[in-house]
Structure 1
Amino acid sequence: MSHELQKPVIGFSCGDLNGIGMELIIKALSDNRIFDICIPVVFANGKSLNFYRKGLPDINFSYQPAKELNKLNHKQLNVFNCWEEEVQITPGQLNETGGKYALLSLEQSVEALKAGHIDGLVTAPIHKKNIQSENFNYSGHTPYLKAMFEVQDVLMLMTAENMRVGLVTEHVPVQEVAKYITRENILNKLDLLHTSLQRDFGVSKPKIAVLGLNPHAGDEGLIGTEEENIIKPTVKEARQKNMLVFGPYSADAFFARGQYQQFDAVLAMYHDQGLIPFKSLALGEGVNYTAGLPIVRTSPDHGTAFDIAGKNKANASSFLEAIYTCVDIIRTRAEYANNHANPLKKISARVLANAVDEKIEEDNS
């Protein structure tokens, strides 16, 4: 990491200008305690921030323009102007303007990540339709970042105090989900999830649950064959690769009976299968994390909320949690890299893990 461990530089993309992104940024970064844990940089425009600040009279908010990313104020919010022109902001409206400037902000924050000027990125919500252009032909942040950082695969991972849920498929129409449920795709996602739990969350021996695709996990082939032909053999293969992977589980009973509490993470087959229980059962505020990237990117677990944009009604709790999670993962990655660069530390960690396992076995016998 290019900056002191205690104070990583965190970038913020502004999201759709007509959504709640700017309001979230102002509310979250008006708390001076944020500057104790990171150096924030907003990729947007001061005039656009001022537009929303006027609608938040009770919030004490100030910032400093940052003309150069290598000369940041460590005790105040920095704003890097991604555009200079006047922009017509219309809160709550879905139009080309919101998408155009959301993309400008995202592009420049990603360039800053690549150049090492910032250590992590928190993305405010975009609208997946109006951001589409020649430079953005993706279904969301996750596939865009995968392409920008040229990695083979990434994992959308929802994380909260009491649960983590990863997805095999993300923004895919339900009628097309089954064709993506392949041995290769499931194994890739399990690899990403296992590695992320160790490197990003500090879980030395992760336990991962895999959900079935069909109702009742296929009922032994009576309700679909994906579990018998694809998912079960892939779970077995993952276990042969020294991953503690279990399943497939019937999704309804798995969450209803609280089985998710016995695992470090859950791999769901499709979007709503994972996100409905996550948003219903997660304690605290949920965060969307993109696992598998060389950089750290988080976001709140909600959208642009056009219905409340510009009305001082947006709740910044999930956005704040996304900031904390971003900082925590940066620190955990640094510790993980340090431990793996030091053989003595690595050996002691392995001995400790084995001792814990032996203690559990003794207690259960």
Structure 2
Amino acid sequence: MSNKRNTIDDRLKVIISVGDDSGIGPEIILKALSSKEIPNNIDTLIVGSKINLKNTYKKLKSLGVQNIVDPSNYQIHDIEIPFEINKPKQSNGNSSFFYLKKAIEIVQKYRNAALVTGPICKKSWALAGHNYSGQTELLAESCQVNNFGMLFTAKSPITNWRFNTLLATTHIPLCEVPKQLSTKLIHSKLNLLATFCKNYVEKPILKIAGLNPHAGEEGILGSEEHDWINDAVNSWSEQNKDVHLLGPISPDTCWNSSAKAWREDKAPTHNGILAMYHDQGLIPIKVIALNYSVNTTLGLPFIRTSPDHGTGFDIAGKGIAQSQSMVEAIKTAIDLTKGSRLFNAH
């Protein structure tokens, strides 16, 4: 990490960017920070509109919501972006974009800091002229990293096993997936996943899902595995003897062991799975982990997490948004930063 980071205050600092003000971000942040699962000794800074956070607090109180914190008791880096009444989505998109930009700037100033991001609306960003496919891409650009990835992670409340799934491709149409996949891409994503896991495990066990049903069934159900994916996996494995790599595995069974490890204490475990495309990875992790799943960006010079859900515009302001995923995002940011061998050694 950058040498310009603060070397005096070594307490873990968690920076939280609010996300879209008109979504459930402000609500779930105030709810999550009231959770007894969040350690008291963490230095927390919220980046967003102080007025909006206070108004959210008042609204939730008026609805009878009890388990929330008063934002007046928290450090807030206040950012007020001009709001155009006739362009609400554009205005909120602009605000959430600059909340994240400032949060990225702040997190890089500290020796031990993590970033938690509230949900944003990609359409609102586009309306405001910020053409990114998501927060991940802005994070990568701001940190000047080329190899980055979208990891979904969850810690089982039953066994304490951590369930990790990295996506080889992300928000693209399904028909584009085979076109984007390549040996170079698969190697770069396996490198990311292995590097991440080695921060916590000496010799990680990784799995890779096949692209086609039954991993192609020797070319009968799809040719990619037979033509080049098997060779790509084998060549990476040959170059990385300190990682035990399994696959390509038939996608319909690849996550069976994950479900067992999530529920059963003595079940065999693995450290990470590489999924070939978005829904291939997201469906099993959301079914198995429910609200415990968290989005994490690999390849950055700090830990970044986010709740595994969107802005929830349809329920915003009603006081009914569940905050468990935000609680998990904050806890995961803390756990991954403190658990990493890089902690206090930047």
Take 2:8 and 2:289, find their aligned partners in 1: how far apart are those partners? 32
Take 1:12 and 1:87, find their aligned partners in 2: how far apart are those partners? 25
Q: Which residue of the partner structure matches residue 42 of structure 1?
A: 46
Query: In percent, how many aligned pairs have the same letter?
Result: 35
Q: Which residue of the partner structure matches residue 255 of structure 2?
A: 255
**Equivalent residues of 1:7, 1:36 under 8 A apart:** no
Q: Which residue of the partner structure matches residue 236 of structure 1?
A: 234
Deviation at 1:281, TM superposition (A): 1.0
Matches within 5 A, 1:100-115: 100-115=94-109
SS of the equivalent of 1:152 reads coil
Moved more, 173-182 or 250-259: 250-259
Q: Which residue of the partner structure matches residue 221 of structure 1?
A: 219
RMSD over aligned CA atoms reads 2.7
List alignment gaps of at least 5 residues for structure 1.
Answer: 65-75, 342-365
Q: Which residue of the partner structure matches residue 27 of structure 2?
A: 23
Q: Which residue of the partner structure matches residue 350 of structure 1?
A: none
Take 1:316 and 1:179, find their aligned partners in 2: how far apart are those partners? 38
Take 2:32 and 2:287, find their aligned partners in 1: how far apart are those partners? 24
Is 1:298 matched up with 2:292?
no
Paired AA for residue 54 in structure 1: K
Question: Deviation string for 1:156-208 (max 9, x for gaps)?
Answer: 11011242110000111111111111000000000000000111xx1111111
Q: Which residue of the partner structure matches residue 266 of structure 2?
A: none
When residues 48 and 336 of structure 1 are mapped into structure 2, their CA distance, relative to the original with a 3 A threshold, is closer
Number of corresponding residues: 323
Take 1:130 and 1:218, find their aligned partners in 2: how far apart are those partners? 40
Moved more, 55-64 or 221-230: 55-64
Equivalent of 1:8, from 9, 12, 21? Answer: 12
Take 2:194 and 2:331, find their aligned partners in 1: how far apart are those partners? 22
Equivalent of 2:204, from 186, 193, 206? Answer: 206
Equivalent of 2:116, from 118, 122, 144? Answer: 122
Moved more, 285-294 or 239-248: 239-248
**Equivalent residues of 1:122, 1:299 under 8 A apart:** yes
SS of the equivalent of 1:208 reads strand
When residues 137 and 77 of structure 1 are mapped into structure 2, their CA distance, relative to the original with a 3 A threshold, is same
Matches within 5 A, 1:79-228: 79-83=76-80, 95-116=89-110, 119-132=113-126, 136-161=130-155, 162=161, 163-199=163-199, 202-228=200-226
Take 2:172 and 2:83, find their aligned partners in 1: how far apart are those partners? 37
Deviation at 1:134, TM superposition (A): 7.5
SS of the equivalent of 2:60 reads coil
Paired AA for residue 198 in structure 2: Q
Moved more, 301-310 or 28-37: 28-37
Deviation at 1:60, TM superposition (A): 5.2
